[in-house]
Amino acid sequence: MNGKPRHIHLSGICGTAMASLAGLLQLQGHHITGSDAAAYPPMSDLLRGLGIPVMEPYSEANLDPAPDLVVIGNALSRGNPEIEKILDARIPFTSMAALLKEEFLAGRESLVVAGTHGKTTTTSMLAWIYQTASASKPELEPSFLIGGVAENFGTSFHLRPTRTFIVEGDEYDTAFFDKGPKFLHYFPDALILTHVEFDHADIYADLEAVKTAFKRLVNLVPRRGRIVAFDGSPNVTECVAKAFCKVERYGFSAEADWRLQSLCYRNGAMHWEVWKSGALWSAFEMKLAGEHNALNATAAAALAAGQGIPVEAIQQALASFMSVKRRLEVRAEIGGITVIDDFAHHPTAIRETLRALRSVYPQSRLWAVLEPRSNTLRRRVLADDLIESLRIADRVILAGVYQQQKIKEDERLHPDEVITALIAAGTPAALYPDANAIVKEIVPQLAAGDVVAILSNGGFDGIYEKLPAALRDRLG
């Protein structure tokens, strides 16, 4: 801990990274409080378990008495009463990313996992590989911060006196006073780069702006470092082209340094081989489904192997990996109906989620229930890609766009147009205003064997609890 214990208040504490930082700071002995507009699982559960109070809503009174330091979340902007109080009273403040670097990354080996998709799961896999390897080598036990609750750990953070710190590198901006991406604070010694696509339409003007951010991250990796990068994306190739360190590629192509082959899903597990330099390096199995998860696991395996983790530990870790909360998470199985929760924020993520569910439940009728909530999905810029992704499902249900009034009229996604296009393409689809209406309409239509994928990066008005409750009432 740097200095004596302080009272640190986190404004926007229920964000995934902010809640994780709160836990790390508490472990250092600081007195932690927090505030947010609203709290919902899994982070509200995590904070409750830590005994960290969450004050709702934002208010100047939340900062009485004045804390020693305030960490301001990136969702907050000028006009927020807590920001105004901080500035008026000159209360010291910082960002999540800056404090993480100062308190936890300095003097450690920083392993960063970045990319438009897959970073939360890949970070969790890498942390679990290190944790598994530490059974025989305790010095490998990692500290980590993940943007989700890793089920193997039951938490999104871990702090140990060892050297390795594994961190999810978020490309979203840092704070109202620091508009650069969070990951530029993390100075990776080694880096995984999964995907680079246009996302976060509220802060990035176009794909070129997104690529510029990732190029800057790549430029921070020292010559002695390593980058493990997906080889199936021209955008990723462009972003790593001028790296000063060794770059290793993973994917399905014959040119990949870490090549996946013989991928299949059987007997409740995914199986594949990884070939290196033209020879079989290892065979893996994992309970998670989906080609994207095999890629994520291979990226984690490649980075870990390059850092000296034995392949046997990597195999054991992936075989016992349990996933991340809200990533293909089975929330209920009632009367033969399976309800899945997935943190969908982008058309590509939706596509990979639905493809994975097809591989696990090939005979099932697949429902996609989507709340357009992320700053990208609320805009029409990727509407065509969204339609193509949703067509994988047998039935599509859309909710109204979250806080649509905050999006400029000419930029808004029009869900009625998405529904019209899906129906025209032969996919039954319907639009309902909110979770209550969706539950009321679809529960009578659901039958044994159906799989319902609820897709949202937020609370979705409690549908994760409301739908199973309504199914239990109907089926007795």
End-to-end CA distance of the chain: 54
Nearest in space to 41 (alpha carbons), one of 388, 334, 356, 329: 329
Q: Per residue in 203-254, pLDDT tens?
A: 888 999 999 999 999 999 999 999 999 999 999 999 999 999 999 999 999 9
**Range list of β-strands (E), 317-442:** 329-334, 337-342, 366-370, 395-399, 429-432
Q: In this structure, what token pair is assigned to residue 179? A: 């508009």
Q: Per residue in 146-190, pLDDT tens?
A: 988 899 999 999 999 999 999 999 999 999 999 999 999 999 999
Q: Per residue in 374-412, pLDDT tens?
A: 878 988 888 999 999 999 999 999 999 888 888 888 888
What pLDDT is attached to residue 349? 87
Q: What's the CATH code, domain 329-475?
A: 3.90.190.20
Is residue 227 within 8 A of residue 115, CB to CB? The reply is no
What pLDDT is attached to residue 381? 85
Fold topology of 99-319: UDP-N-acetylmuramoyl-L-alanine:D-glutamate ligase (3.40.1190)
CA distance linking residue 464 with residue 341, whole number of Å: 7
Give the bridge partners for 10, in sequence order: 34, 71
Q: Per residue in 107-135, pLDDT tens?
A: 999 999 999 989 999 999 999 999 999 99
What pLDDT is attached to residue 39? 81
> Which regions of the chain carry the CATH code 3.90.190.20?
329-475
What pLDDT is attached to residue 267? 87
> Which regions of the chain carry the CATH code 3.40.1190.10?
99-319
CATH class of the structural domain 7-94: alpha beta
Query: Of the ranges 66-70, 101-105, 188-192, 290-294, which one carries the lowest mean pLDDT score?
Result: 290-294
> Which regions of the chain carry the CATH code 3.40.50.720?
7-94
What pLDDT is attached to residue 1? 45
Residue 2 pLDDT level (bands cut at 50, 70, 90):
low
Helices 291-306 and 347-360, axial angle in degrees (round to 10): 100
CA distance linking residue 390 with residue 413, whole number of Å: 15
